[in-house]
Amino acid sequence: MSEETKKTEEQVEATEVKKTAAKAKKETKEEVAEAPKVEKVNPEEFLANFDWHKYEEGIEAVDEENIKAFEAALEGTLGLVNEREVIDGVVVRKTDREAIIDINSKSEGVISLNEFRYNPNLAVGDTVEVLVDKREDSTGQLVLSHKKARVIKAWDRVNNAHETGEVVNGFVKCRTRGGMIVDVFGIEAFLPGSQIDVKPIRDYDQYVEKTMEFKVVKINQEFKNVVVSHKALIEADIEVQKKEIIGKLEKGQVLEGVVKNITSYGVFVDLGGVDGLVHITDLSWSRINHPSEVVELDQTLNVVILDFDDEKTRIQLGLKQLSKHPWEALDENIKVGDTVKGKVVVLADYGAFIEVAQGVEGLIHVSEMSWSTHLRSAQDFVSVGDEVEAQVLTLDREERKMSLGIKQLYPDPWNNIADKYPVGSKHTGTVRNYTNFGVFVELEEGIDGLVYISDLSWTKKIKHPSDFVSVGDKLEVEVLELDVEGRKLNLGHKQTTDNPWDAHEDTFAIDSIHEGTVKEKSDKGLIVILEDGVEAFVPSRFTVKEDGSKLAKGDTDKFKVIEFNKEFRRVVASHTSIFKAQEEKNIKAAQKKADTADKTTLGDLGGDLAALKKKMEGK
């Protein structure tokens, strides 16, 4: 056979192979009717009898029956595969980036190792599934895909793994919200964070790009979602271990555990598949604000079993119980009356707790912080963290209680109060507080006195002390009464000035008339300001003017004093009485004149009668 003829045969063969591949691809995608039976033809005989010249010149068309016979003859011939077909291949070589796969065809395929990331142990000689993507690309290379082959059969494998509980390998691709994305058989499955391990995971990144074993725990066929779990693989072993541990639990038993979780109220410790809780109060003999001050995550420590429920599912553990109680280690020489130093650890309104030794606390009641009888909050004296010095007032080692005092370190100011603040002495104090009935004035630390509201002013009528003074004001006072045993001091402010009512007694004598201005008006009467700022009360019946109208607020007029009481600092006045008194005076004068006129007339008449009688008798 000539060289030209051989070249022509190769071209025809390539053409026929491409037609055969196209037909195979079409039959893979859709159903076709059953092909008619074709008589078997020897390929060599067909090629030998084929008129190549006529075919190339287009003189004679190729008989369709002959082509079909030729295609049928090619079936089963070594080296021919169908596109889109999933078959087994063997890894014959590996490079740093690719795997060369033999599928028993006329050429080998190349697949990137990225498609085998889930199987880092891939080795030469392994059998793998591949999809024939193309029998030939533009360069004549066979194109295979392991990933596509896995996807085609993945759902069958996933469903089977779910039903049988088969353990599958998966490649952790990346993190996502709430968990991880895992490649299982080429399908992206979701691994919830809670299903990674039996203990909480704080660093998800440590699992990325790692191959792990999983169980398929859930499949959503409608949305093609797969959920896997690594935790499920180890729970069975843990359950056996857990039952073994629970069966041996006894109160007082000391076990080794690992800090699994820290909360504000305590610490969860993993005892080897069984969790127990160490409450914050059982972590340390000293007061702590948060468990993290004592332990750390993943810390290994010994704990003692304090209690558990009947089913031993809730286990109460203790840490401080493994060490000696601080009260037992407290210095035996400390006694009542001794001075101790400590740090303020807790503050309350009623007092402060002082840690005098690790785990040993004493209470300083607010009443023991100052000699002042006027109680305040403990926050006014100390703050948390302050280093203080105090005296031991009571000590009960059995009950593990101690009371302390700060004021006992300083002299009691009431011891010589009679000398410092005798009755009648005047001083300047600070207003510390007030009530409805008076004002508390501090003369010095520990010495408070009360100024009753009635002793604030000689002239002003004060409804509430806050109308007269404010907290923090300096106030001049005079000692009125002193009770050393009762620790009571009665003070007065108005007594520091002369009593103006001594002079008012002469100024506002009864029937004296003064000019005043109406300050307030009510149904009962008027409040009128007279000279020197003295307030006088005018009853309603005495507010009528001479023209019949009544005085109004702001009016200025004359008023007559009709009552004066020095003791109660009371002045009662009247406006009406001024012109009423004049009327009465006029009436009395008229009456007197009338009486005088009547007496003169009768006298004269009597004289005339007497003269007449005498005259008549003379006759």
DSSP letter at 255?
E
93-102 pLDDT per residue, tens: 988 888 888 8
Q: Please give the pLDDT value at position 21.
A: 42
Longest dimension (CA), the chain: 224
Q: Tell me: pLDDT of 294 over 70.
A: yes
Q: Side-chain half-sphere of 618: how many Cα atoms within 13 Å?
A: 6
Tens digits of residue pLDDT in 557-605: 999 999 988 777 889 999 888 888 666 665 665 666 666 655 555 555 5
Query: Residue 67 has what pLDDT?
Result: 56
Confidence of residue 608 (pLDDT cuts 50, 70, 90): low
Q: Is 312 exposed, middle or buried (0-12, 13-18, 19+ CB in 10 A)?
A: middle
For residue 404, what pLDDT is reported? 93
Are residues 242 and 311 in contact, defined by beta-carbon separation less than 8 angstroms? Answer: no
pLDDT at residue 508 tops 60 = yes
In this structure, are residues 148 and 112 in contact, taking their beta carbons and an 8 Å threshold? no
Is the Cα torsion angle 334, 337, 343, 344 positive or negative in sign? positive
Burial class (CB in 10 A: 0-12, 13-18, 19+), 435: exposed
Q: Which of 185, 175, 233, 226 is nearest to 205 (CA)?
A: 175
Give the chain's mean pLDDT. Answer: 79
pLDDT at 10: 46
Q: Read off the amino acid at residue 59.
A: I
Using a 10 angstrom Cβ sphere, with 0-12 exposed, 13-18 middle and 19 or more buried, the burial of residue 211 is middle
Alpha helices in 198-347 (DSSP H): 231-247
Bridge partners (DSSP) listed for residue 395: 402
SS3 234: helix
- Residue from 545, 543, 575 nearest 562 by CA: 575
State the amino acid at position 507 in one-letter form.
Answer: T
Q: pLDDT above 70 covers what percent of the chain?
A: 78
Which tokens belong to 26? 């079409």
pLDDT tens-digit map of 426-442 = 999 999 888 899 999 98
pLDDT at 22 over 70: no
283 or 233: which leads in pLDDT: 283
Encode 443-501 in three state secondary structure.
EECCEEEEEEHHHCCCCCCCCCHHHCCCCCCEEEEEEEEEECCCCEEEEECHHHCCCCH
pLDDT at 375: 63
Q: What is the pLDDT of residues 52-68, one digit of tens each?
A: 555 555 555 555 665 56
List helix spans (H) across 127-190: 146-164
Q: What are phi and psi of 378, to 5 degrees?
A: -60, -25
Model confidence at 6, pLDDT cuts 50, 70, 90, reads: very low
Interatomic CA distance for residues 148 and 131, integer angstroms = 6
Strand partners for 89: 128
Q: Which tens digits make up the pLDDT trace of 394-430?
A: 988 888 889 999 988 888 888 888 888 899 899 999 9
**Whole-angstrom distance, CA of residue 368 vs CA of residue 412:** 12
Mean pLDDT confidence for 514-525: 91
* Structure tokens, 295: 């332990």
Query: What would the DSSP string read from start to end of 177-189?
Result: TTEEEEEETTEEE
* Higher per-residue confidence, 103 vs 13: 103
Q: Which residue has 């001049």 as its token pair? A: 476
pLDDT exceeds cutoff 90 at 279: yes
Cα distances (Å, whole numbers) of residue 75 to 40, 80, 134, 246: 11, 8, 18, 68
Question: Which of 196-200, 282-286, 560-564 ranks highest by mean pLDDT?
Answer: 560-564
pLDDT at 35 over 80: no
Q: What is the DSSP letter of 568?
A: T
